Amino acid sequence: MAEPRLSLETPIQYLKGVGPKMAKRLAKLNIKTVADLIGHFPFRHQDFSLISPINQVQEGETVTLIGQIKAISNHYTRSSTRKTIQRAILEDETGIIELIWFNQPYLTKTLPIKTTIAASGKIRRRGRRFQLVAPDFEIIDQGKTISRYQIGERVTTDTGRLTPVYSTVFGITNKYLRRLIARVLPQIKDQIKEFLPQKILIQEKLIPQKEALAKIHFPENDAALEKAKKRLAFNEMFLLQLHLLMTKRRWQKRQPAPIIKLDSKRLQQFIEQLPFSLTQAQTRAIKEILADLEKPQAMNRLLQGDVGSGKTIVAAAAILMTANSGYQSALMVPTEILAQQHYNNLSQLLKPFGIKAALLTRNNKLQMVNDQMTKLIVGTHALIHKYAQFDRVGLVIIDEQHRFGVSQRAKLVQRAQLADKDRLSPHILTMTATPIPRTIALTIYGDLDISVLDELPPGRKPVKTYLVPPTKRDACYQWIKNQIISHQIQAFIICPFVEPSETFESVKAATVEYQRLQKEIFPDLRLGLLHGKMKSKEKEEILLKMSRGELDILVATPVVEVGIDIPNASIIIIEAADRFGLAQLHQLRGRVGRSDRQAYCFLFADKLGKKARVRLRAMEKINDGMKLAEIDLQIRGPGEVYGTRQHGFPEFQLASLTDFRLIEQARSAAEQLLASDSDLKNHPQLKRIVADRFQNAPIIPN
């Protein structure tokens, strides 16, 4: 059957050599149309471009040899597995060499004597002779020409060049994909339209789209491949940035929000009654946030600040102004402990200003919060459940935002909006202690405005951190005991956790450890136990005791990671520290060093592999969360560190979250373009591509 004229939309099964069966297999690779096929980029290339005479090959060299099959035969191995070996002799004008394949008995038919082939692979040595084992090959002459790509005079796909290597599935080989792509490319190449403005191509020194798509598969050399990669990686990052910036704009345009007036006098009063003066970073963040709140469009801002940088006060200022304008604020946090603590702190801070606060958790749902009086509702996930009734929410704050999914955050915003009689959207402030390098933030949170607290309150001494060898464990306990007794300070001991979330095992481990420590190590001290499976009343009591100084040591599972604030605690032991990521260790460590007293962090490790040692040594040397984040990024990669996968973040084929230059360039190119064509009206094709690519993205950004 003659192949129809191909277009990019042609379903793949209509291609010659595909049909329904292969189409089904290709679908597993998400290849359904010609465009998908061309868009299935190789993840690497093999360099078979060195074409060598047979008598000049060297051991270990990756080469392409061109010659004639002189002999070929099938051999059975002696083992019972009935494996077969195919041996062939290849000859050119300079000599002969042995080719070997395994379990491909049909090769004796495919490659009969006198066939001219090109064979590519790595040269091995057997005694004094050379071999090419399991080479890639293609027939380049057999009376008729089969191949299309150039070797000398001829054109090849599998040998004699940079050869693409694709991800494959059962029944789809690399060879098959290469042939298909090589055949289709020239037919549709002229239909591939340029979608980037000429200006950007010139400015960023990018090659045209159709050239990039051809060269990413079959580049003539490394330089051509690099250019293709650069262009296609730029596409990915640029389209994402366009999407993020447009989402941000759309959000701002579409979301009428209450105007929260700045009351400078009240703000001044609030700041003056604090027991400390604000850091410059706090002052700046408050200013940025309050400026947003005064606008009739909803704020959508991320407040990023290392542990202990004082995000709560910044939030409190925003809550105060919101209440002052007659609106409620809803603050959502990931754990009951934290909810309780924020509730206590904020109630205290805001009471002088007549602001009534309420606490809403699963275990505390009877509170009336839709009365006119309550101006702050602090709670857990309970805030998004039906029993949470709001009055008019002007501000939604989400603390430790990475602990919540996109949909949970969206739901809270939605509930707040429904509670408002004018259906105004609340302003949104998300907070995170995870330090994120700026460029990464541009991709993960590119649709948000960002305020950064890059400064700790003055007088904080870096937490002295030590990786303690097992032999020093007892001495360490002894030292801690002395410190506690002579300075009336308090300590945390963080037990290993078994699973990422609180489980039966981790609870049990903590309980056992607690008993051991109380009985055998610290019989004269007052110990408490805290884990996530305790009733919230019990948790509250323990935390209250700890903050009143009625406990010396709090033994806890890593639930304390998120935001517990007990300034008098200045020692923390972290068990099985090797099982934590750097960001998490840094968070845990941030539980101490919250006063001007010198604080200590002792890391114990179960098994100390090489990677773990590098990580824990970094903890000893570095106190800056951002630097640790960068190291974490290098060691573990962005996917793991930022959980981009869980958050439905688009995965890149070629772009990388660690390519800071690319991110900066794509961002500024996108900003430039939108500055002159804010809705892409003059770039309809580009607009459609962005819309198609991100059609499933959530409406409420981040």
User: With CB under 6 A as the contact rule, which of the stretches 235-243, 259-267, 304-312, 325-333 interacts with ligand ADP?
Assistant: 304-312
Q: Can you state the angle between helices 311-324 and 280-293, rounded to 10 degrees?
A: 30
**How many CA atoms does the CB half-sphere of 244 hold within 13 Å?**
26
Which lies closer to ligand ADP via its Cβ, residue 448 or residue 686? Answer: 448
Report the first-to-last Cα separation within the chain, whole angstroms. 51
- Residue 335 as a binder of ligand ADP (CB under 6 A): the answer is no
Q: How far is the CB of 334 from ligand ADP (least distance, A)?
A: 13
Burial class (CB in 10 A: 0-12, 13-18, 19+), 38: buried
Which lies closer to ligand ADP via its Cβ, residue 311 or residue 589? Answer: 311
- Residue 563 as a binder of ligand ADP (CB under 6 A): the answer is yes
Q: How far is the CB of 644 from ligand ADP (least distance, A)?
A: 23
Q: What residue ranges in 241-382 does DSSP mark as E strands?
A: 300-305, 328-332, 356-360, 374-379
Identify the residue among 121, 310, 394, 426 touching ligand ADP (CB under 6 A): 310
Contacts of 137 (CB under 8 A, 6+ apart): 99, 111, 117, 118, 119, 120, 158, 159
Contacts of 380 (CB under 8 A, 6+ apart): 332, 333, 334, 335, 336, 339, 360, 361, 362
Residue 450 structure tokens = 């960002």
Residue 29 structure tokens = 């690779």
- Residue 85 as a binder of ligand ADP (CB under 6 A): the answer is no
Contacts of 88 (CB under 8 A, 6+ apart): 69, 70, 71, 72, 73, 98, 99, 100, 101, 107, 111
Which lies closer to ligand ADP via its Cβ, residue 214 or residue 456? Answer: 456
User: With CB under 6 A as the contact rule, which of the stretches 25-33, 499-507, 560-568, 622-630 interacts with ligand ADP?
Assistant: 560-568
Q: How far is the CB of 227 from ligand ADP (least distance, A)?
A: 45
Which lies closer to ligand ADP via its Cβ, residue 312 or residue 401? Answer: 312
**Helix and strand element counts for the chain (H, E):** 22, 21
Q: How far is the CB of 279 from ligand ADP (least distance, A)?
A: 5
- Residue 308 as a binder of ligand ADP (CB under 6 A): the answer is yes
User: With CB under 6 A as the contact rule, which of the stretches 2-10, 261-269, 274-282, 684-692 interacts with ligand ADP?
Assistant: 274-282
Contacts of 692 (CB under 8 A, 6+ apart): none
User: With CB under 6 A as the contact rule, which of the stretches 5-13, 52-60, 529-537, 559-567 interacts with ligand ADP?
Assistant: 559-567
In whole angstroms, give the CA distance from residue 18 to residue 89: 33
- Residue 102 as a binder of ligand ADP (CB under 6 A): the answer is no
- Residue 387 as a binder of ligand ADP (CB under 6 A): the answer is no
Identify the residue among 313, 323, 493, 616 touching ligand ADP (CB under 6 A): 313
Identify the residue among 229, 311, 427, 589 touching ligand ADP (CB under 6 A): 311
DSSP at 79: S
Look up residue 694 and give its amino acid.
Answer: F
Which helix (H) or strand (E) segment holds residue 121: the answer is strand 116-126
In whole angstroms, give the CA distance from residue 692 to residue 688: 6
Contacts of 356 (CB under 8 A, 6+ apart): 373, 374, 375, 376
Q: How far is the CB of 427 from ligand ADP (least distance, A)?
A: 19
- Residue 563 as a binder of Mg ion (CB under 5 A): the answer is yes
- Residue 435 as a binder of ligand ADP (CB under 6 A): the answer is no
User: Binds 635, which of ligand ADP, Mg ion, none (CB < 5 to 8 A, cut-off by type)?
Assistant: none
Total number of residues that touch ligand ADP (CB under 6 A): 18
- Residue 455 as a binder of ligand ADP (CB under 6 A): the answer is no
- Residue 565 as a binder of ligand ADP (CB under 6 A): the answer is yes
In whole angstroms, give the CA distance from residue 688 to residue 680: 9
Identify the residue among 433, 542, 560, 654 touching ligand ADP (CB under 6 A): 433
Q: Which of residues 567-586 bind ligand ADP (CB under 6 A)?
A: 567
Contacts of 235 (CB under 8 A, 6+ apart): 196, 209
User: With CB under 6 A as the contact rule, which of the stretches 115-123, 194-202, 301-309, 491-499 interacts with ligand ADP?
Assistant: 301-309
User: Binds 313, which of ligand ADP, Mg ion, none (CB < 5 to 8 A, cut-off by type)?
Assistant: ligand ADP
Footprint on this chain of ligand ADP (rule: CB under 6 A): 276, 278-279, 282, 305, 307-313, 433, 457, 563, 565, 567, 594
Footprint on this chain of Mg ion (rule: CB under 5 A): 563
